[in-house]
Chains A and B, each alone.
Chain A
């Protein structure tokens, strides 16, 4: 990590950065046209968005809080993508991380223990897809989609069954106060955000500054050439699933342990659903680069944190706001998506 700045720059594709910035601009522009078409004032709407997301301490705090879980699930996707794997299993590991936090902090009310067990369960849930891929040749898209559903129903059973809160049947047991992540200052933002940024930096370090990471990236670019060069692509793939699972598991655990006021999984798992899928979008916008993902996640967080003020000040209904945000996200993801598809077409299978 203590390499010179030019090293980091080298890992970032400048062209990619410029493309992303243009894409953001174009996305906002198309959004503005849609707003006009519906009869809303884009200037008021966008200024409400930025004021809500960045205009106050609480605004910034919620922007960063919203960005935390998707930053980690995006890392899952990106790490695998760099290894040439289309892993959409972040969702399942996220559920397991969340339920692990509930289960284990209620056994021992220690924060680090809860986070650790979240990572362990998240990583373990990455393994079935990894082994199926490496030893049986099952495509990871199929296996992770199906494993997500298995995770969903299994964790749902835990949520409504053994770990339901007897006093409050629409939630699980709460995280005991001793194991909740400390909040930063007088805000709703917990140290989960700092841990997530640290995880992103660590992912960058692993991918670009370790032998393991070199092997992963080499297998991602061309598994046969990598193998010829003495790298074991199968091992690299298994590691990518494990590290990815750790990230999402951590994300799930911190979602429950670091978010006031609930500190529990709610009924129907409404507060843990969807983050794995959102993470794919974040990873595409961040061009599958851990450092890019930090900013992409904050960008997504900003869109969400600005939503209430857009409704209040510009009186734009939530449905239209979601359309606008969808347009912006799609536009911004197009360059990353293009890369991904191009790589998928040109790459050969293991």
Chain B
């Protein structure tokens, strides 16, 4: 036993010395190979970003936040520190660790779920600037900027698009697959319902025919489980849903898969049926199956927060971005290509190969053709609705609690819903 122990220790020591010598030679590279963070020569300061449990790689919410933060870090020559959260228990700990270092121009918390944690830590460190995406609390300390979006406005466009595509194909059902049941998602759902009802009215005026579009909705309870998104979308397709709007972060990639499989099974290259993406311009993920995406420009909100902090113009309180501020909106093909360009070069190459395209132009062409599956008058109708919302002529409800969303669900017409918005 004693001999064994000795051998063990010696092996250990040897390995340790090996490790030590390794880090002397390898130490130089380790700082740059970090979390994909680019470290400029002489950073003029540091900013930090904390992701929620959904984390990077969701191709939507968290990745958009990274996009904004990394762009700001580049433009203002800052070092970007990224923190992932393993579980909900880590939010306070992560924020506290960063705040106690007292060196960040601003600490950005990505996601509604961190609201309580930000409120607590910000009160403990009143001199540290914080920004939280999607989080709102009426008693939030003054050093916190709450970046909110009018998802209801963008989702209304998605709803109108979905309903008109369905009506145009002689169908009467559309779907929406959502993530966790949180107030932010009520805004998406309400906007979508509003858009569908508005489109019913528009269709009647245009064609003289009455349509009654049925809306299937499901909260999957997660933002990180594509399997659940797939199951929910498949069930909705089986019930005749002709367009499905995904509002579920990483879960939503399963929605794209389900729609893609439906097309394949029916020997179609392009829809309808279609899926509608969310947060980022997701159309490139499954070209042909995704007609557009409701972009929520988390990147813009995050970028501005960092910019303001660097330029000494940081303010706390609510900053709300809607259609008018280009904070939300339906993606154009150019938006999609810009999103695609922001991916790492080898990811782009791999994705193109996987999709069977030889160049980015082919992808672009394909996306444009996909959009041509939907007649022009529908696109015009959607932009008409957009103009009316921007001008303030039409108001979209934004319920923040259960009774609020129930009222929207029970409303019969878009005019009834509009009353709820006031």
Contact = CB atoms under 8 A, between A and B. Distances in A.
Q: A and B from one assembly? A: yes
Interface of A: 18, 22, 25-26, 29, 32-33, 36, 39-44, 52, 56, 58, 62, 66, 160, 166-170, 188, 259-262, 266-268, 270-271, 274, 304-305, 307-309, 311-312, 314-319, 322
B19 A308 contact: no
B30 interface: yes
B92 A260 contact: yes
B29 interface: yes
A7 B101 CA distance: 46
Contacts of A274: 87
A262 B116 contact: yes
Nearest to B124: A186
14 contacts: A36-B22, A39-B30, A66-B89, A160-B181, A169-B183, A261-B92, A261-B117, A266-B113, A267-B221, A270-B87, A311-B83, A312-B48, A315-B34, A318-B86
Contacts of A168: 183
Interface of B: 5, 8, 12, 15-16, 19-20, 22-23, 26-27, 29-31, 33-35, 37, 48, 53, 55, 81-84, 86-90, 92-94, 96-98, 100-101, 113, 116-117, 119-120, 180-183, 221-222, 401-403
Given A43-B23, A170-B113, A188-B92, A311 B29 contact: no
A188 B93 CA distance: 9
A169 B187 CA distance: 14
B181 A169 contact: yes
Contacts of B222: 268
Tell me whether chain A's interface is mostly helix, strand or loop, or mixed.
helix
B221 A32 contact: no
Nearest to A322: B86
A142 B89 CA distance: 30
- Which 4 interchain pairs have the tightest Cβ spacing? A315-B34, A318-B84, A308-B97, A261-B120
Nearest to A25: B12
A40 B35 CA distance: 11
Nearest to B15: A29
Contacts of A169: 181-183, 401-402
B100 A39 contact: no
Contacts of B94: 308
A318 B36 CA distance: 13
Contacts of A267: 180-182, 221
Contact of B30 (A22, A41, A307): A41
A211 B8 CA distance: 41
Given A22-B5, A39-B26, A266 B88 contact: yes
Contact of A42 (B8, B19, B183): B19
Q: Which of A43, A62, A308 has the most CB of B within 10 A?
A: A308
A62 B91 CA distance: 12
B30 A40 contact: yes
A169 B219 CA distance: 12
Contacts of A304: 86, 90
A329 to B, nearest CB: 14
B211 to A, nearest CB: 32
Nearest to A314: B30
A311 to B, nearest CB: 5
Contact of B88 (A39, A188, A271): A271
Given A62-B93, A317-B84, 14 more contacts: A18-B5, A26-B8, A29-B12, A42-B19, A56-B100, A62-B96, A188-B92, A260-B92, A270-B53, A304-B90, A311-B35, A312-B48, A312-B101, A315-B31
B412 to A, nearest CB: 24
Contacts of A309: 97
A170 B180 contact: yes
Contact of B401 (A36, A167, A261): A167
Contacts of B19: 29, 32-33, 36, 42
B97 A42 contact: no
Nearest to B82: A311
Contact of B182 (A18, A170, A270): A170
B27 A311 contact: no
Contact of B23 (A18, A41, A62, A259): A41
Nearest to B96: A58
B93 to A, nearest CB: 5
Contacts of A308: 83, 90, 93-94, 97-98
A340 B419 CA distance: 66
B116 A43 contact: no
Contact of B20 (A43, A271, A316): A43
Contacts of A26: 8, 12
A316 B35 CA distance: 7
A32 to B, nearest CB: 5
A319 B86 CA distance: 9
Given A33-B19, A259-B89, A58 B100 contact: yes
A266 B15 CA distance: 44
Nearest to B84: A318
Given A170-B113, A308-B90, A29 B16 contact: yes
Nearest to A30: B15
A335 B98 CA distance: 37
A302 to B, nearest CB: 12
Nearest to B53: A270
Contacts of A167: 401
A261 B137 CA distance: 14
B27 A271 contact: no
A305 B93 contact: yes
Nearest to B405: A169
Q: Which of B22, B48, B119 has the most CB of A within 10 A?
A: B22
A262 B87 CA distance: 13
A36 B113 contact: no
Contacts of B84: 311, 317-319
